[in-house]
A and B are shown apart, each in its own frame.
Chain A
Amino acid sequence: MTAFPDEPGLPLAGLRILDLSWVGVGPITVKYLADHGATAVRVESHVRPDVVRLGPPWHDAKPGLERSQFYADFNTSKLGVTLDLSKPEAQAIARRLAAWADVVVESFTPRVLRGWGLGWDDLRAVNPRLVMLSTCLQGQTGPHALHPGFGQLMAALSGFYEVSGWPDRDPAPPYGAYTDFVVPRLAATALLAAIDHQRRTGEGQYLDVSQFEASLHFMAPALLDREMTGTVAGRFGNAADHAAPHGAYPCAGDDRWLAVSVRGDAAWRAFATVLERPEWLADPRFATHAARVAAAEALDAAIAGATRGCDATALMAALQKAGVAAGVVQSALDLHACPVLGGWGFFEWLEHPARPPAPYAGHALRLAGTPGRLRRAAPAYGEHNRLVLGGILGLSDAEIDRLVEAKIVW
């Protein structure tokens, strides 16, 4: 097999990861490391496809296991291997990969991997210095450890849905599996610390990341408020008391809005001046920050009347120039044309033989000295079977052919 692709300039070059995870949290956690140079072998199977491979958006708007940008965005820079882990011979191959790896990440319901002989005790027996991270909805122990489900349900269970929306309406939850995008940031932080410990001491360990527990760190102020004052947070729209006005105000066009946060008297004067409403500055209802917070409803109505005819982008620019925090409420379509994200270089176009070129979501962090990058588009099913099984494990082409024929590599 050809030489193994390692890129020594990248900060995690040389780190080896066996990625047995699927859906959101595990794959995104590993993606941080793969895009920064780690060699990550992502194991999948046709028997039990990753649900995000089945999810939209699809290239040319047609469903298909190789057409999902949902999957593609989460799995850049990884090597794709297919193994039907329900078969003992595939389990043995996975154990050999775990012996090769520094790190194993998995996100099955607890018990599944143990049943396949791929649990923590099995894998540390073949690799005593292994770092293994398991993440499931509610953690590996406890009465609800086996709770199945997706991040939408976790976002409801951990309190985010209840506090999102208007006080007089049903909850209006955040889009999608919100906690799937909270947890990877915490999981990757913990995983990198464990890898650092492994490198310094040679000691491996097991990480149990409960998506419930990790997510609650983003609800901590509300949890402390209940604990300390008895207040059970409800829904309160965009209300706030650190800024007034504070909210989204209608602008010209179809569903165009500008978010504004005005803190303090100087910003308020600048805001009224940009909107050419000197009468607001003379209005006793709006004379102080405390008065503006108390009169938020009247203030919001007055501002909506003033912004309704304005171009959102132009008003944002004028307010920003005057020192006021303001930003267009951007749709997904807007994001792809956003000059601010463009300046950061957020979207990166990647090509892959199985899919037409597409803009992939880039990173929100950048290491100035040794930046990561989206090294490769996400792999097609089994794209790197020969590279990994031959190049890493030393299997012959004939042996790999046999495994493919037997649907062990499948």
Chain B
Amino acid sequence: MLDARAVPPPLVGLRALDLTGPLGWLAGRLLADLGVDVVKVEPPGGDPERALAPRVRHADGSAEGLFFRATNGGKRGVTLRLDAPDAAPVLAALVARADFVLESFPPDSAAAADVAAAARAAPHVVHTSVTPFGDRPPGRSLHADDIVLQAMGGPMYVCGDEDRPPLRLPFWQAYCHAGAEAAVGTMLAHLARGRTGRGQHVVVNAQAALVWTLMNAQAFPVFHGDSLRRSGPYVGSRGVRRRMVFPCADGHVSLLLMGAQGAPSTRALMAWMDEHGMLPDWLAAWPWEQWEPGFAMEMKPAAQAEMIRIEEAVAAFLRTRTKAEVHREGFRRRILVAPVATVADVAADPQLAARAFFRPVDDPRLGRAVATPGPFARLSATPLAPPRRAPEPGEHNAEVYAEWLGWDAARLAAAARAGVV
């Protein structure tokens, strides 16, 4: 394995102060994987957003949010009450010791202003603000959460069934995109700092990050006069659609039914159908290389009728196959098809197993190791750190305040008495 070598990740020696909420959690997680010492700052008692779903209920009755767990692994945890009267100099000292400062406070808030002031006083610091709608009016004053960002950024409009409300994609996708985009911005500024010695302020706009999930859909109205629309298992616009998801014997599969460049795949599918006696005569000599029904916005009514007829023949065949069969035969025959995998299918995937993607992370509360998603990239010379568990609130107060600020036990106790830590 590339990662098995005992060499440090690329950014070992750098420090990040992570003041983010869910909008920015993933940024610090990615930096921690890259070797940065990421210190997550929470109010005493912990970030209330730790409870975001899904959750696991532990034997002691406590509930642990798994979005928090996934996006805060590998960080160290400290507590700091930012609105305490004596907090400002502590925050300033932590910022001054950091190479990166990450936060996602509302741009108009006092907390955002405090962090910005501390960062300005430490010109080497890369200060990344993860925001819902940017730092400019009118977006800087707007409130959001995950579903509102998916709405305002565009993906929700094209997701769902036409006879029901638009849908968000679950598991905090907007927050994930914003956090990952923040990691890119932070690293761009870090490279710039390598040349100039100076840090700078980086602003990330989650709404804009969501627009970038629309592939080519955002530009359709400019050139084709209309927007794509949600159409359930199809991709479509008004009056035309192509099926993306087909039921199979034990769930669903996704198939790209293409002509032209995709003709070899479709021919291989037809051959497979033929082996099972399920290729209709009228499809046997279909000219796939010349078949260009047009994209969802462009299909003519005759092409749409033809498409529906072909899709029905293919659907009848796929209904007789299992996900595992489709996965195996699709790969063997080079058909552009994939199972619509459940998380159980993902956990059992042979490719991920062969590459040892899931890594055990010991969990004292469960008394066992938890198979956890591993490296997001495999670096040959400086492999990423393995996944680690997320910290408890203030778990690393003593060591972090000692290492970063030189506090001894008495100083820490005084800060605790003052309600700061």
Contact = CB atoms under 8 A, between A and B. Distances in A.
Given A61-B224, A153-B338, A366-B185, 9 more contacts: A57-B222, A157-B338, A169-B232, A194-B10, A222-B54, A249-B165, A332-B217, A343-B137, A344-B133
Contact of A189 (B30, B149, B202, B298): B30
Interface stretch (A209-217, A380-388, A393-401): A209-217
B228 A332 contact: yes
A143 B342 contact: no
B355 interface: yes
A405 interface: no
B352 to A, nearest CB: 7
Interface residues of A, number: 155
Given A175-B228, A190-B379, A339-B138, A263 B347 contact: no
Nearest to B351: A144
Nearest to B215: A176
A362 B245 CA distance: 31
B340 interface: yes
A332 B206 contact: no
B211 A248 contact: no
B348 to A, nearest CB: 10
A216 B27 CA distance: 15
A289 B398 CA distance: 37
A240 B165 contact: no
B192 interface: yes
A141 B69 CA distance: 29
A326 B152 CA distance: 9
A228 B339 CA distance: 24
19 contacts: A12-B192, A57-B223, A161-B341, A169-B161, A174-B169, A180-B215, A181-B214, A193-B382, A196-B11, A196-B187, A206-B379, A219-B346, A229-B56, A229-B57, A259-B148, A327-B149, A330-B152, A332-B217, A344-B134
Nearest to A246: B147
A221 B148 contact: no
B350 A333 contact: no
Contacts of A117: none
Q: Number of contact residues on B: which range applies?
A: 35 or more
Contacts of B344: 226, 232
Given A220-B71, A225-B66, A367-B188, A207 B252 contact: no
Nearest to B29: A217
Contact of B142 (A227, A320, A334): A320
B187 to A, nearest CB: 4
Contacts of B203: 365-366, 368
A77 B358 CA distance: 37
B10 A196 contact: yes
Of A149, A205, A228, chain B has the most CB atoms within 10 Å of the CB of: A228
A205 B220 CA distance: 40
B376 A213 contact: yes
Given A185-B181, A205-B381, A370 B192 contact: yes
B314 interface: no
B322 to A, nearest CB: 15
A126 to B, nearest CB: 17
Contacts of B207: 340-341, 344, 364
